[in-house]
Structure 1
Amino acid sequence: MVDSSSSSYIHLVHRLIEECILLNMNKEECMEALSKHANINPVITSIVWKELEKENNEFFRAYTRSREETVSRTRQRIHNMVSSDSSKQRV
């Protein structure tokens, strides 16, 4: 059985993970941020994240897909900007 303080701690980690998701972080970025800014052991963050994934599988699949699409679009924009700048410099 989980005692009240453990339950509160897990709830806190859960809430902080939700904040990380709102900031469009992946699991590793969230683990790093919570470790650095909230002094939460990355193993705890990982365990809570995995449990949230189990409970909300569809959400996390869509979230991961959306993040991948965002990263892909960002990379394409950067590539286009670099290509545009390099063609201007050749003139």
Structure 2
Amino acid sequence: MKKGIHPDYGYVVFRDTSCGATFRVRSTCKSDKTIVWEDGETYPLVDLDVSSASHPFYTGEQRRVSAEGRVARFQQRFGKVSTSRSTDAG
């Protein structure tokens, strides 16, 4: 491995600003902000808008909302069809 061409690879704390979740991973990201982690060490802090802690795909909120929308749309389109038919058996 050549010296001086690779970025520094170390621990960085990422914070999800939408839900407040924090996690520490190794990364090449740089930041001027720092935070004291649970182990007492100071690490660079990178703020994120969305992470797996708040993204609808991982939390399941998107699937539930879209399913409710589908049911309402079905009832709106076909709910009247089943009630408007009379029971003419003849």
TM-score band w.r.t. shorter chain: 0.3 to 0.5
> Which structure shows the higher strand fraction?
2
TM-score for both structures, normalised by structure 1? 0.32
Which has the greater radius of gyration? 2
